Structure 1
């Protein structure tokens, strides 16, 4: 009999280089791991991760220490009526008429401007020249803030994401994230006060004037939401664009199908969310002792939910390590809802409020890129490696192409 495989360490260089192999070992042999350096239980099976997202027994109290130092208090830290009220204050801007009429033109304009800068070159690093800039430009435009401040926003969101993904507790990274919170607050609060006095047609004005049963968001709640939007909407969309395009170029037949029929773009995005999600870990905290695969998690302990592992669980998906936009066991009809059968947007009451915005940005990005670029290939002849542990995607995506005009 062979010796049992040791439990992988999510902070090890081996894990960072290839988390998917580690995920297989975790699901098979170590579905519940106490990880001393992060003081958390690590879970990896689809059923357990789904339960942690959906079961009201699991709270988001971990966000009090995880998010509040850099964002302030956001809707992610709220529960019950408070959470419902604040979610209803912000959600209308990210769906329906507001999204279609106000912000789709903003999304399309920002995408076209970035592509125009490299469309005739025949080569591009899609991460540096498009993916990292597009979602931030969109958010800044939506909020009605000056795009000339783009570099400030990029630095702030990079700093905050560094803080949030700082699993090893690097004190320099922590201090930089906390300093960023102060800088962002100093920048945003006077602008919020001015929008209250003279609202416009932008998202920030909508947040300043939104009201339910006489209740409005405070200046600091609006600032915290903008900070959350900047990082969650910027980082995840940035990485999703890089991963979708890398996955498609790596599978020429599927790239050709999407090029011929742009209505397949949502399927390509949904399969990327399952196969190579931009966020690989989200934390939760049970209010009571709870039984999961492999044992008991005590009340108040942090649980690190491995999205990247759950989304490749062979108990849930056939051929889970293969990228297939026609995958029959991924529910396309619910892929961008709280009832999705992948875990990339979380599930239940804390399902990502910006999921439809992300879908709209991805649909626009991929359609525009494929319309501008033909004969797309990897400049180095092979797909680039992914980087990151908390969030993950190629850090470069060097492509060659034939300009279409």
Structure 2
């Protein structure tokens, strides 16, 4: 007889060490499971997670208690209907099209170059500490037109907000730090907001202060909440995605060589990393009425934990889902950064991540500049480092052996060069 394994405990050290084997157990035997540790219903199959992101019956009312306390106000993920449409229209133009390309791409390129300059001559460095975790936060601070001397301060706030959101075990110290951070960030931003309202500039914060649609403007609390959301959502995805891309490519040298030779494959490497090792592993929803899913019915008003990391490796959806493959046909890079994506790492439907194209721009610039600066990269001991985290996940350290371009002979530099000066 075949023994059915016990359901995994997603708050256990064993789960954090290897969530993907636990996801297989959930998909196969417990596609709908009421988890006692979190008090929520876990869903793990691609079809069910896709429905939870797309169907209006699955609301984001859970964010009233999950997000609002740490962000200090209502944010886009909480909103629906006209409120959501208008607020999204207020902020979305800054994260796409000409606004992103002409105004903020130079900011992204400059920040990548400055961080790489800090270890350009190194023989070995930690990509996470020296680049990935700093890069997106520095970009956000500069996009907002804030003091560049406060990069470190914003990075500390970012870490506190992300820790609050990832606090599934409800550690009171983590909660207290997150709430204190919300107050500190608001106190920092309120006087700056008043200055930008009186004398707006060409920065993102000025845009948030002055843009109006259908008679609606963002008030001070709306703006501070959006900045807090931008730090956590925008920072965490790019931070862990950059570390994840290099971890995955370094563990697959043939695919790293292919990307190095053909930089048009960088978006495919990002798309496959979002599927294979998504930075955000789970997102919650709250159904407005009873909903039938694989394995049973979810009661109205309950919390549903959508396991992105499980859905993105569902064997019902992908061929050989446990393999990292940048040439995968079922995860097209052309649609991977839109609401038509084949993966669910950015959500789907009306709440698809508004900053997906910003993340794509940051990752493409970061990957290309790192490959340009270091035409030979390898793992010092040949083994990819372990990932960590449950709510969000990625390597906490990624030591890489480097060969800077400066040590190579003329004509040996690899990759695409950016017109940065």
- 1:333 and 1:148 mapped to 2: Cα distance? 37
Where 1:334 maps in the other structure, the secondary structure is: coil
Is 2:9–2:37's contact at 8 Å kept on the other side of the alignment? no
- Residue 330 of structure 1 and its aligned partner are, at CA, apart by 1.2
- Residue 353 of structure 1 and its aligned partner are, at CA, apart by 0.1
Poorly superposed stretches of 4+, deviation over 2 Å: none
Residue-by-residue CA offset, 1:31-56 (whole Å, 9 max, x unaligned): 01101221100010000000000000
Q: Show the 5 A alignment for 1:296-335.
A: 296-335=297-336
Q: Are 2:204 and 1:203 aligned? A: yes
Match of 1:149 in 2: 150
- Residue 121 of structure 1 and its aligned partner are, at CA, apart by 1.0
Where 2:334 maps in the other structure, the secondary structure is: helix
Where 1:399 maps in the other structure, the secondary structure is: strand
Residue-by-residue CA offset, 1:138-160 (whole Å, 9 max, x unaligned): 00000000111112111111111
Match of 2:344 in 1: 343
Is 1:95–1:356's contact at 8 Å kept on the other side of the alignment? yes
Where 1:376 maps in the other structure, the secondary structure is: strand
Match of 2:418 in 1: none
Is 1:124–1:400's contact at 8 Å kept on the other side of the alignment? yes
- Residue 347 of structure 1 and its aligned partner are, at CA, apart by 0.3
Match of 1:184 in 2: 185
Residue-by-residue CA offset, 1:209-248 (whole Å, 9 max, x unaligned): 1111221111110110001001111111110000001111
Match of 1:51 in 2: 51
- Residue 381 of structure 1 and its aligned partner are, at CA, apart by 2.2
- 1:142 and 1:14 mapped to 2: Cα distance? 40
Is 1:380–1:398's contact at 8 Å kept on the other side of the alignment? no
- Residue 331 of structure 1 and its aligned partner are, at CA, apart by 2.4
Question: What TM-score comes out, normalization by structure 1 length?
Answer: 0.99
Q: Are 2:117 and 1:116 aligned? A: yes
Match of 1:29 in 2: 29
Match of 2:70 in 1: 70
- 2:33 and 2:175 mapped to 1: Cα distance? 25
Q: Show the 5 A alignment for 1:92-103.
A: 92-103=93-104
Q: Show the 5 A alignment for 1:4-403.
A: 4-71=4-71, 72-403=73-404
- 2:252 and 2:3 mapped to 1: Cα distance? 38
Residue-by-residue CA offset, 1:72-125 (whole Å, 9 max, x unaligned): 211111110000000000000000110000000000000000001101112110
- 2:332 and 2:286 mapped to 1: Cα distance? 28
- Residue 3 of structure 1 and its aligned partner are, at CA, apart by 2.6
Question: What TM-score comes out, normalization by structure 2 length?
Answer: 0.95
Is 1:61–1:284's contact at 8 Å kept on the other side of the alignment? yes
Where 1:332 maps in the other structure, the secondary structure is: coil
For structure 1, the 5+ residue unaligned runs are: none
- 1:383 and 1:343 mapped to 2: Cα distance? 25
- Residue 4 of structure 1 and its aligned partner are, at CA, apart by 1.6
For structure 2, the 5+ residue unaligned runs are: 407-421
Is 1:281–1:305's contact at 8 Å kept on the other side of the alignment? yes
Provide the alpha-carbon RMSD of the alignment.
0.7
- 1:367 and 1:229 mapped to 2: Cα distance? 24
- 1:21 and 1:358 mapped to 2: Cα distance? 28
Is 1:142–1:202's contact at 8 Å kept on the other side of the alignment? yes
- Residue 323 of structure 1 and its aligned partner are, at CA, apart by 0.5
- Residue 401 of structure 1 and its aligned partner are, at CA, apart by 1.4
